């Protein structure tokens, strides 16, 4: 099996439309959560979100092509181009057949669907844009990236709700290990802060509603006064390379991926299995794949959505997997700072995990103020910690019972 390393990172989040501003904001304990500006929230129980406010698509995509795609695809392309630039990797005739794309979204172009339905109802079927379907469907994250950069290797989009980004990176890791590509652009993108999406999650009673007047503190992973997640948006993309290929071109290396676990709860469409059984197995599979014992992990980038059930269940699962070593772990959720970006979350969090290893810094869980007796581990509250991280884990769990876990190692 080939070894797989991370050589480039591209991030778009509520803290900024590039890797450096997002990382800087996380380390400084800033919040990107504000009152929603995209539409009128008068009738909504949740009025806050982690919107991307400084993104300029024209910096990455021609105006002609922008008209043909959803916002999630724009995020995906921009993050991929930034990741390639970071990796100092050019796609050309010599390598185009060896470079693949595995980038996806949990929801896709939902704003396209909403606008098209409005047009249909108000103006009739003949006024629907011919670009409606290709700008809306989830696979256009990968499709548009491949077209924009000229990557002719394997290309696909994997959708597993909130585990999408992590599954995309994990599958890309497996593909490189098996020799199906030398390089894969991998991650997730999402742009679902829309009227229908927010209304739907409000109806499901999963969003925070208690902090509409103080949005910066609305997302509170593991805090006793958490009352639901806050929607985020953006993209997280990694450049994964066959180690030999990366060394041959003298690429910088952020970290190595050494383990990947995926399971399903087969229990409920939205709630995790009692006791976190599926999450436990996913973490154990990832550790087994990395050929390490539990006590080797120094840091876990937690799924940590700030919902009552998820945070408790993830904590319980970590305790089951790590036993006494759980007390020695650094654990943090960056969703306190940027919200939960659904299909993009795993991509952004994998990128942050790789950065944490490279920089020797654990980003904090902000807004952690009230200790929950059921969530009693070290969540790195409110301030970053400097640490020598040899191994780190990134967790993602999605609606439908999907559990996905990556293990990273210092290179």
340 is catalytic: yes
- Work out whether the CA dihedral 331, 335, 337, 338 comes out positive or negative: positive
162 is catalytic: yes
Q: What angle do CA 74, 131, 343 make, to 5 degrees?
A: 40
DSSP state of 231: B
Catalytic one of 202, 303, 375, 402: 303
CB crowding 264-276: b at 16 or more within 10 Å, else e: bbeeeeeebbeeb
What stretch of H or E contains 133? helix 132-136
CB crowding 202-220: b at 16 or more within 10 Å, else e: beeebbbeebbeebbbbbb
Q: Residue 163 burial by CB count (10 A; 0-12/13-18/19+): exposed, middle or buried?
A: buried
Catalytic one of 162, 202, 375, 402: 162
- Kind of pairing, strands 299-301 and 330-332? parallel
3-state SS string for 304-327? CCCCHHHHHHHHHHHHHHHHHHHH
Catalytic one of 202, 340, 375, 402: 340
- Kind of pairing, strands 4-12 and 234-242? antiparallel
List residues bridging with 391 in a β-sheet: 409
- Work out whether the CA dihedral 24, 347, 53, 219 comes out positive or negative: negative
The SS3 call for residue 336 is: helix
291 is catalytic: no
CA-to-CA distance for 365 and 26, rounded, in angstroms?
Answer: 9
Active-site residue set: 162, 303, 340
């Amino acid at each position: 099996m080939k070894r797989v390393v991370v050589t480039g990172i591209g991030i778009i989040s509520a803290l900024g439309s590039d890797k450096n501003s997002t990382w800087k904001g996380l380390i400084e304990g800033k919040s990107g959560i504000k009152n929603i500006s995209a539409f009128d929230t008068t009738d909504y129980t949740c009025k806050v979100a982690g919107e991307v406010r400084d993104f300029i698509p024209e910096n990455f995509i021609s105006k002609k092509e922008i008209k043909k795609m959803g916002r999630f695809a724009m995020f995906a392309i921009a993050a991929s181009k930034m990741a390639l630039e970071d990796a100092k990797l050019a796609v050309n005739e010599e390598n185009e057949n060896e470079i693949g794309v595995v980038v996806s979204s949990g929801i896709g172009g939902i704003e396209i669907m909403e606008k098209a339905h409005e047009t249909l109802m108000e103006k009739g079927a003949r006024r629907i844009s011919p670009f409606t379907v290709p700008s809306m469907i989830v696979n256009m994250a990968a499709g548009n990236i491949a077209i924009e950069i000229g990557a002719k290797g394997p290309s696909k989009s994997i959708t597993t709700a909130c585990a999408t980004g992590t599954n995309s990176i994990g599958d890309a890791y497996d593909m490189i290990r098996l020799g199906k590509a030398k390089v894969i652009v991998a991650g997730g993108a999402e742009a679902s802060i829309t009227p229908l999406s927010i209304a739907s999650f409000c109806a499901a009673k999963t969003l925070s509603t208690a902090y509409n007047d103080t949005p910066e503190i609305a997302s509170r992973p593991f805090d006793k006064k958490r009352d639901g997640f806050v929607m985020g948006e953006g993209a997280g993309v990694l450049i994964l390379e066959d180690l030999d290929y990366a060394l041959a071109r003298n690429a910088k290396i952020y970290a190595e991926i050494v383990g990947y676990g995926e399971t399903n709860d087969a229990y409920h469409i939205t709630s995790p299995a009692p006791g976190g059984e599926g999450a436990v197995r996913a973490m154990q599979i990832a550790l087994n794949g990395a050929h390490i014992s539990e006590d080797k992990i120094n840091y876990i980038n937690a799924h940590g959505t700030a919902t009552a059930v998820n945070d408790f269940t993830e904590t319980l699962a970590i305790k089951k997997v790590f036993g006494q070593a759980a007390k020695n772990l650094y654990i943090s959720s960056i969703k306190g700072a940027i919200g939960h970006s659904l299909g993009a979350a795993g991509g952004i969090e994998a990128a942050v995990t790789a950065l944490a290893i490279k920089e020797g810094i654990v980003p904090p869980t902000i807004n952690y103020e009230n200790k929950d007796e059921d969530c009693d581990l070290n969540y790195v509250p409110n301030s970053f910690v400097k640490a020598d991280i040899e191994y780190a884990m990134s967790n993602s769990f999605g609606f439908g019972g999907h559990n996905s876990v990556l293990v990273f190692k210092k290179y």
